[in-house]
Structure 1
Amino acid sequence: MPVTTDLVSAPFSATLRASTRSAHERANHSGYMNALLGNELTLAGYTQLAIQYYFIYRAIEQVSDTMAADDTGHEFVFDELRRLPKLEADMAFLVGPDWRETIRPLPATESYVRRIHEASAWAGGYVAHHYTRYLGDIAGGQIIRRLLATNYGIVDKGASFYHFDGIGSAPAFRDRYRAKLDTAPWNETDRTRVVDETLTAFECNVAVFAELAEDMHRYQAA
């Protein structure tokens, strides 16, 4: 998808946000997310999303381990952001003690995971996927955290994925993250590639939500 936003006149973090706003809205207003946020799904319906997040974040954090030695990528490796231990705890609560043997990624999730690994051959590709997921969870993901508490009584176990206690002030952390985007040593071509890969990351999320929606009838709340 071509990028038409001026990549020079604005800070890169602002350009990235503006260039991906439409894709972000599409993900937020997918059929699955509308049903979840509209209180139309059971807890089991939410659990299907959490399962897919387990595979997605496992992929991103596997790449984070390799990016720790990259000149640019290491700037976006934050141990305090790691979600996999929290997702493992949530899986044990939501699915049961045999969760490792029973959960499966959807085909759309498998494609997403492949894309994460392929794109992360370059630090900018890793950052595109990292930015799309983590900054979204720190901000918009808190809506789901409140929904889990209100609708299902899930506050700690089962909802720990949305607890970012290690980052301190969320607005301050986001500002720090955006400053790293603004100062990363990417030229205009590199920045265009980051924007394009971020758009791809959003499309990967949309595809997962679309596949989840195909099975929503099984999880309709009474």
Structure 2
Amino acid sequence: MSEPIPFSTALRERSSGAHSGSEHAGFMADLLRGRGTRDDYVNLVAQHWFIYAALEAATERMRYDPVAAPFISDHLTRLPALEADLEFLIGADWRERIEPLPATVRYVERITQVGTVWAGGYVAHHYTRYLGDLSGGLYIGKVMQRQFGFETNGIGFYLFDGIADPAQFKTVYREQLDAAPWDEVEKERVIDEVLLAYRCNTELFEDLDRRRPERVA
């Protein structure tokens, strides 16, 4: 009799197509291949601020939830780094100069909704964002650093100074997913929410692509 597939493995396999589709959306593909501008990058950072403001507000609400708490680490917190990046990239008045795109508004609404009442949904968004940041995000940061001549200012979002070994951190995180007290129905709900999170991210890239001045409707 074959061993049951660990939940973390099932989650990764079931979401790999959505993850790949999000990563290769036109906006990000252009940005990573040198066809994006500094303004494109600044717009991405601005939208991240709205998303992580919602996610990290949900983290404070979920901090003592018995299901969500094992996944929460202050070493993952991104909001201060995003705010420092925006001040460097835009200026001290950055708060008055950014606004969420429609896809970002929908994304934030969903994070806020599940992050208020459903630990599994919160973990789904937490997983999608932070494990992505510790994987492809580290690569993106290096590409942006090289492409736009940044040192550390402007890419602080991608620097996890408190996590010495991202690979080991992700291994422990996946073990926590496997240990979560979810039955099969709840596991399916969590996977569905991860797929929704990737869809939200893809829609954000599509909105960012439409915002680019060279895109003519």
Q: Report the TM-score when normalising by structure 1.
A: 0.93
Deviation at 1:149, TM superposition (A): 1.7
Equivalent of 1:80, from 75, 100, 116? 75
Equivalent of 1:180, from 176, 179, 199? 176
Tell me the residue number matched to 1:5: none
Equivalent of 1:161, from 147, 157, 181? 157
Distance (whole Å) between structure 2 residues aligned to residue 113 and residue 146 of structure 1 = 27
The answer to which of 195-204 and 139-148 deviates more is: 139-148
Deviation at 1:45, TM superposition (A): 1.1
Deviation at 1:118, TM superposition (A): 1.3
Tell me the residue number matched to 1:139: 135
Deviation at 1:218, TM superposition (A): 4.8
What do residues 137-177 of structure 1 show as CA deviations (whole Å, max 9, x unaligned)?
11101121111221111121100000011122011000010
Distance (whole Å) between structure 1 residues aligned to residue 37 and residue 97 of structure 2 = 19
Distance (whole Å) between structure 1 residues aligned to residue 164 and residue 178 of structure 2 = 21
Tell me the residue number matched to 1:194: 190
Distance (whole Å) between structure 1 residues aligned to residue 27 and residue 121 of structure 2 = 27
Distance (whole Å) between structure 1 residues aligned to residue 22 and residue 86 of structure 2 = 23
Secondary structure of 1:63's aligned partner: helix
The within-5 A match list for 1:81-120 is 81-120=76-115
Give the residue type in structure 2 aligned to 1:143: Y
Distance (whole Å) between structure 2 residues aligned to residue 167 and residue 189 of structure 1 = 33
Secondary structure of 2:162's aligned partner: helix
Contact 1:32 / 1:216 at 8 angstroms: preserved in 2?
no
Contact 1:148 / 1:155 at 8 angstroms: preserved in 2?
no
Distance (whole Å) between structure 2 residues aligned to residue 144 and residue 106 of structure 1 = 22
Structure 1: gaps (5+ residues): 1-7
RMSD: 1.2
Distance (whole Å) between structure 2 residues aligned to residue 92 and residue 178 of structure 1 = 34
Give the residue type in structure 1 aligned to 2:8: S
Percent identity, aligned pairs only, is 45
Distance (whole Å) between structure 2 residues aligned to residue 34 and residue 57 of structure 1 = 22
Tell me the residue number matched to 1:3: none
Secondary structure of 1:18's aligned partner: helix
